[in-house]
Amino acid sequence: MLEVFVIILAYLLGSIPSALIVGKIGYGIDIREHGSGNLGGTNTFRTLGVKAGLIVTIADILKGTLAAALPILVGADLHPLLVGVIAVIGHVYPVFAKFKGGKAVATSGGLLLFYSPILFITMLLVFFICLYISKYVSLSSMLTGIYGVIYSIFFGDLPLIIVLSLLAAFVIFKHTANIKRIINKTEPKIKWL
């Protein structure tokens, strides 16, 4: 029974629409009606600016971190990666926002922050290096996911390899439209780095 409670709680935690909350409370707008319409950090940065983007990104990361920590916090017999993945599903398909959420990047990072902090830090470095070179957030996110899979194969355990492979594939799937825009050279580039 405790395990079922933890899974439900992780999904609800992941479902908290940080971008929607920040947009409505802080700026009086529904971010789903602006930019890409996505409830994630990137659209928040583009639509509401750096301060709002940082708040949303950090909140989305912490959703994954807290969810992965739940089994230890409450003594449930569940793997932290599994519970973290449930939060990622909640982030992408949030019950509180008509099942239309973000693209899984920040919340996935959050579960890795709990499970493998060194991997999380190196993934951040890879993300910013790719972002500096390409200026594409979407491409940097996908390449960082691929790096995470490679890292886990060399240094991780089997559950980490499986979870990172699934998350990286899902992140790439969620960025299909971005890939088309990159190919067509219509994907927005960042200007601040």
Residue 35: band (very low, low, confident or very high) from pLDDT cuts 50, 70, 90: confident
For residue 154, the tally of other CB atoms under 10 A from its CB is 7
Average pLDDT estimate for 55-76: 97
Residue 37: band (very low, low, confident or very high) from pLDDT cuts 50, 70, 90: confident
Please list, residue by residue across 126-152, b when 16 or more beta carbons sit within 10 angstroms of its beta carbon and e when fewer do. bbeebbeebbbbbbbbbbbbbbbbebb
Distance (Å, whole) CA 184 – CA 84:
35
Predicted confidence (pLDDT) per residue in 135-153, tens digit: 999 999 999 999 999 999 9
Report yes or no on 65 lying in a domain: yes
Report yes or no on 193 lying in a domain: no
Report yes or no on 164 lying in a domain: yes
- What's the whole-number average pLDDT of the chain? 95
Domain count, the chain: 1
pTM over the 0.75 mark? yes
Domain range enclosing 99: 2-183
Report yes or no on 54 lying in a domain: yes
- What is the model's pLDDT at position 162? 96
Q: Look at residue 74 and tell me whether its pLDDT is greater than 80.
A: yes
Report yes or no on 10 lying in a domain: yes
Report yes or no on 133 lying in a domain: yes
Residue 58: band (very low, low, confident or very high) from pLDDT cuts 50, 70, 90: very high
Distances (CA, A) of 12 to 24, 87, 94: 20, 7, 8
Distance (Å, whole) CA 91 – CA 88:
5
- What is the model's pLDDT at position 191? 82
Average pLDDT estimate for 145-174: 94
Q: At 77, is the secondary structure helix, strand, or coil?
A: coil
Report yes or no on 191 lying in a domain: no
- At residue 84, what is the residue type? G
Report yes or no on 192 lying in a domain: no
- What is the model's pLDDT at position 193? 73
Average pLDDT estimate for 111-115: 97
